[in-house]
Structure 1
Amino acid sequence: MDLQGELLEHPYSVYERLRDSAPVCRISGTDGAPAWLVTRYDDVREALADPRLSLDKTNAAEGNYRGFSLPPALDANLLNMDPPDHTRIRSLVGRAFTPRRIEQLRTPIRATADRLLDALGPAGSADLVAAYAAPLPIIVICDLLGIPEDRRLDFRTWTDALIVPDPSRPEAAKAAVRAMLGFFTELMAHKRSQPADDLLSDLIAVRDGDGDRLSEDELMSLAFLILFAGYENTVQLIGNAIHTLLQHPDHLALLRKDPSRLPAAVTELMRYEGPALLAIRRFATEDITIAGVTVPAGETVLLSLSAANRDPARFSRPDALDFDRDTSGHLALGHGIHYCLGAPLARAETEIALAALLERYPTLEPVGPAPQWRQSLRARGLKELPVRYAALTGS
């Protein structure tokens, strides 16, 4: 079934149709290779935790969709691993995202948000993706990793080339990969010569102190993944949340009146308009049956997080935004052992970004036609978000 065009333009209406008529169906991936798409909540949640669905590309049969490829120095990351390697590497970086560490980061995150809003000024118009949603997470994740300011390059250009490939520029993705590889090679050399009190220096110490625990490719790939995922998902979370609130002025007014509702609101915003349409592709290690459909060993399975989060069998009135609903079990950032490692940080950044924005600008409204979504089967994010804003007189 060729649904690419429809999914790019109207994902939620297509997912609704598929949940009813073909909850497990064959589609074409971005490279034209086939994959199985799963759309019902119960099936997606169960499959996310099924060890028979592997992230390791060596389990992929020839001719099936595999996602974009990276050189070995960037490809040995958690999104391509199963236990025990996945367990070993995830444990090494997990300490960076503990609740205590995230609480310690809240003050500097808020300071960063305030600086970005200071740059906007008390009134005017701006693209809140370019001016706010994008720079905030890249500053936060670079500070966490210890990446010097003069080395913070245009990551959005690179990630767009991979997540939203341009058919008219087939070499763009390869050029982005080369640029990222060169950046991380130089960065590792820099951190080895000038270690500091940051996560990247800690990971290098693990690698250099005990080579059995972290290979050079694993080290490089882990740094890439933390930066890539920590930036990409959070840009979309913040941008999507702002856009959704602008489309729901009553909900926006509710948060202005009672900011204590922000944590619950962010959870519902994640369910309603999460950062990813699909989880990372998986490969069946044996014949597996999902919703009565047999997926042969080696074939690719795509699990739709956004379709699951809009499944009326799990969430009543799923296409409505409801800050009072029970959102427990939403799948916006995955489920099981591959649940997003940086989820606590992404949630904190989104809460803080919204709080700072709403406190600063009591007048905030969209400008022009409805903003366009990035043309991606996997990611859900806006190309831009033009708004008009104004602070209180004298503030």
Structure 2
Amino acid sequence: MDYPFRNPTALEPPPEWAELRQACPVAPIRLPSGDEALVLTRYDDVKQVLSDPRFTRELSAADAPRITANESGGVFGASELNMTGEEHRAWRQLLGRAFTAKRVTAMQPRIQAMAERLVEEMVARGQPADLVSGVGFPLPVWAICDLLGVPDSDRDRFAYWSDTMLSLTRFSQEEIDAAQAEFDAYLIALVEAKRAEPGDDLVSELLSIVEGLDGRLTEQLMLGTAKGLLVAGHETTANMIGKMMAMLLSDRSRWEALLADRALIRPAVEEVLRYDANPGFGMPRYLSEEVEVGGTVLPKGTTVVCSMGAANRDERQFEQAGVMRLDRSPNTHVAFGVGPHSCVGQALARTELQTVLRVLLERLPTLELAVPAEALARREGLVVGGLEQVPVRW
């Protein structure tokens, strides 16, 4: 089977998810590179693998399959993003000291003000409008630039760098290498500028924490941190805003329920994350030793892809898994991963999604899709799933 699987429409899950969960939860697949791996589709198996330190991110091992034909510089080839063991734990601890809930909470009013501004500008341009380009993409880039202390004027460059890192088939190796060299040079200059003149931002804070480290390690930490935040914090959230609105507007009763009760915003965001039929590639893991998963013994050197989207539709874990329930509680989805590599920016992502939803409910209560839901087109060729456009009117 070729992987990633194809969706029948942009908001419907691939039929293979249910088929494999039922009949073959550890299934052989052919990756975009042509190499072979295994895909996991059941909730318990995905959670086991993502929580087990024997399943590593060492995708550069000699016997590991290549995910894409052009590995270098992409999200699966970037060495800064593939730290393991003690090195990774130290990095997460360091980042946790700087990337606090307090910092994200303090950003919320600025995120809301930016969301309101973007919606006002979209309304001023007239309808129909595209929610993806009007709100979905500008907001998370702005938030990451705000977090890192990057000038707002550089956000378009950040968006391009992010796209190249998340390429499966969209960019050539030459384009990826050039963009990443540019990004690295930009970040190194940013670190030097913050060292000379610290500000109230994440880079300055990290620099104050790692003051005792040698320069090369500091540089690597900063590159890894900035790249990780850009990938996790920009592209995934940007795409999720578009998908969230498409899901909520594709069934008018969902939008009406939110208009009637704002307390549903928080659980609705969690349910949108769980219900996402097009989350992207999934999490690849390389086995450093033999392990049993889902009743199958997997030899050392195996690479598995954890399909969080399939796991989030597992009936064994979620009652009426195929139904979107805005008040679902508890909702133990794995959209942000689990274990030591779970998304470090998930608090920021949740804040952005909840804020955008609240602003749109307040400002545009009559919002609706301007095209049939089945006409929405997927973004192709990237590691993360998304929609090309979400045309709306109000």
TM-score between the two structures when normalised by the length of structure 1: 0.89
Name structure 1 gaps, 5 residues minimum.
390-395
Question: Contact 1:206/1:213 (CA < 8 Å) preserved in 2?
Answer: no
Question: Cα gap change, 1:29/1:344 in structure 2, threshold over 3 Å: closer, same or farther?
Answer: same
* Residue type of the alignment partner of 1:129: V
Q: Who is 2:249 aligned against?
A: 246
SS of alignment partner, residue 301 of structure 1 = strand
2:283 and 2:209 mapped to 1: Cα distance? 27
Superposition deviation, residue 376 in structure 1? 4.7
Superposition deviation, residue 290 in structure 1? 1.3
Residues 4-43 of structure 1: CA distance to partner in whole angstroms, max 9, x if unpaired? 4636977531111111121111112222221111101111
Question: Contact 1:3/1:27 (CA < 8 Å) preserved in 2?
Answer: yes
Question: Cα gap change, 1:109/1:36 in structure 2, threshold over 3 Å: closer, same or farther?
Answer: same
Root mean square deviation of aligned Cα? 2.6
1:328 and 1:184 mapped to 2: Cα distance? 37
1:169 and 1:240 mapped to 2: Cα distance? 27
Q: Who is 1:393 aligned against?
A: none
Q: Percent identity?
A: 35
TM-score between the two structures when normalised by the length of structure 2: 0.89
Matched, 1:383 2:388: yes
Superposition deviation, residue 327 in structure 1? 4.1
Residues 163-212 of structure 1: CA distance to partner in whole angstroms, max 9, x if unpaired? 34446845333333233223323323333343222111222334443339
* Residue type of the alignment partner of 1:337: P
* Between 86-95 and 341-350, the greater mean CA deviation after superposition: 86-95
Question: Cα gap change, 1:337/1:156 in structure 2, threshold over 3 Å: closer, same or farther?
Answer: same
1:308 and 1:17 mapped to 2: Cα distance? 12
Q: Who is 1:114 aligned against?
A: 116
SS of alignment partner, residue 209 of structure 1 = coil
Residues 86-135 of structure 1: CA distance to partner in whole angstroms, max 9, x if unpaired? 11111111134433322222111111111111212365221111110111
Q: Who is 2:93 aligned against?
A: 91
1:6 and 1:259 mapped to 2: Cα distance? 34
Question: Cα gap change, 1:356/1:341 in structure 2, threshold over 3 Å: closer, same or farther?
Answer: same
Question: Contact 1:158/1:180 (CA < 8 Å) preserved in 2?
Answer: yes
* Residue type of the alignment partner of 2:6: E
Name structure 2 gaps, 5 residues minimum.
none
4+ long deviations beyond 4 Å:
7-11, 167-170
Matched, 1:319 2:304: no
* Residue type of the alignment partner of 2:189: E
Give the length in aligned residue pairs: 386
1:245 and 1:195 mapped to 2: Cα distance? 42
* Between 201-210 and 143-152, the greater mean CA deviation after superposition: 201-210
1:335-374 matches, within 5 Å, as 335-369=338-372, 370-374=375-379
Q: Who is 2:225 aligned against?
A: 222
Superposition deviation, residue 149 in structure 1? 2.1
Q: Who is 2:2 aligned against?
A: 2
Question: Contact 1:116/1:132 (CA < 8 Å) preserved in 2?
Answer: yes
* Residue type of the alignment partner of 2:268: A
Superposition deviation, residue 3 in structure 1? 4.2
Superposition deviation, residue 2 in structure 1? 2.9
Matched, 1:62 2:63: yes
SS of alignment partner, residue 14 of structure 2 = helix
Q: Who is 1:29 aligned against?
A: 31
